[in-house]
Chains A and B, each alone.
Chain A
Amino acid sequence: MNELLAQLAHCIEFGKVNKDAPYPPDMKGQDGADELTQQLLEAGHSASDILSQALIIGMEKIGVKFRDGQVFVPQVLMSAKAMEAAMNHLKPLFAEEGSVRKGTFIIGTVEGDLHDIGKNLVAMMVEGNGYEVIDMGVDVSADAFIAEMQKHPGAAVGLSALLTTTMENMKNIVAKIKQVEPDRQICIGGAPVNQEFCDQIGADSYNPDPQGVVEYLNRLAS
């Protein structure tokens, strides 16, 4: 693997945003995701190569560490910051290159619920793994999800809920989506949700962590 790509993947994994960033302390003064991405582009690498050979690798590593309890939410969010610094260079180039993302993922916190940290974490991990993410925010109704789905045929839908009361809204949203499009893939998550609930309401996938969502989407994309 190209040394620069490996360095960028390392920056993503450890949340090194740019040269000025003092964190992580053992990388102080070194180039970060911002500079390395620029250098890779100048060296002739395509945006999609940088995404697949560095960003996705770094994000996957941090996702697995998070699932295994080796790192915590703040470290994942630091990786997200580094990834964002790299993506700022790449996003304008994806359209120019005509590069195809792995898929599209529509995500939102269900109607009645305003919790968004878990949803944001999933959105960011999915984006970092090469998907286009449509983040609909919090308190999202079934109609709003369906309207967005119609703009993105084939996109998987992710529903998040943190309250036992809004699990009922999740159930209704799944039912309405499946009524309109029985084959539309829906995954669910959130503190009170589990596999049993997922089976009960007819959703397609339950994942207790962001990496699980990435792996589910990867299976759909393969």
Chain B
Amino acid sequence: MTVIQYQFSLADFDLDIAEIASLMGYPRGHMPAEILDLIEQEQRVFPAGQQVSGGYRLIPCQLAEDDHTIRLEQAVFAPGRRNFKRYKHAEAIAVFACSAGSYIAERSKQLMAEGQLLEGYVVDVMGSCLVEQAMNDIQQRLKDELAEQGLQITNRYSPGYCSWNIAEQRALFDLLPDKFCGIELSESCLMMPIKSISGLIGVGPRVRFREHSCEQCNSTTCIYRQTKSHT
């Protein structure tokens, strides 16, 4: 099994403050100074030695148009008709996972438990941003490497979004090494550490990357939908 894995130092991670503001709902430049101070304060105490890690495994795929399923080795995914269309023409799938690590989740939980709800929330959003940003980096590297072979990639899509049954994460993680990036699944398919993401990226010469894809999803409650960069 060839698996590509990257690691980033949490302490050196260049967090995108504008994206954090956007995830919180603020238009660019409108985040209150207190929140910015809290972010900087938390960044300063990020412990050395903590890693943000992510990676993927490329697997040839078989797409079944009749029932909108994707077969990867022995696993069959049913991402729903709408998601299936996004993988149209894919010849392989990059099965990915990425985790911000345990520090962020534990720090947020600790702050919340101490009654510091604002601080806990800020760290939680920092974790969401961190893991997405790390995966953006990994996805860009994948895109660049495949471009040399004349291949393109789709956006990344995940079980749990756009009506894709979150329970399919079990099959997804079965395709990756045990505890890949330190991630474990709970009985309810919650990834632990909690600031982790996983999903499938389509690969092929004819697949398309869409700049904005929220309009194709019917979720009205996804936090990314509310941000300017995802609408």
Contacts and interface: CB of A to CB of B under 8 A. Distances in A.
Interface of A: 22-25, 69, 72-75, 77-78, 80-81, 84, 112-117, 120-121, 124, 163-166, 169, 191-192, 208
Interface stretch (B70-78, B79-87, B171-179, B184-192): B184-192
Contacts of A163: 160, 166, 188-190
B33 A23 contact: yes
A114 B118 contact: no
B25 A164 contact: no
A165 B32 contact: no
6 contacts: A24-B32, A25-B33, A69-B25, A74-B31, A120-B117, A163-B190
A81 B118 contact: yes
A112 B35 CA distance: 31
Contact of A23 (B24, B32, B165): B32
A112 B190 contact: yes
B131 interface: no
Interface in B15-48: 24-26, 31-35
Interface in B131-160: 160
A117 B124 CA distance: 9
Given A72-B25, A166-B190, A169-B188, 9 more contacts: A23-B34, A73-B24, A73-B121, A74-B35, A117-B120, A163-B190, A164-B165, A165-B189, A165-B190
B165 A73 contact: no
Nearest to B115: A84
A166 B117 contact: no
B59 interface: no
Interface residues of B, number: 28
* B26, B122, B190, most chain A CB atoms within 10 A: B190
Contacts of A23: 32-34
Contacts of B188: 112-113, 163, 165-166, 169
A74 B24 contact: yes
B207 interface: no
Interface string B171-209: 000000000000000111110001000000000000000
Contact of A74 (B122, B166, B167): B122
A113 B118 contact: no
Contacts of A117: 112, 120-121, 124
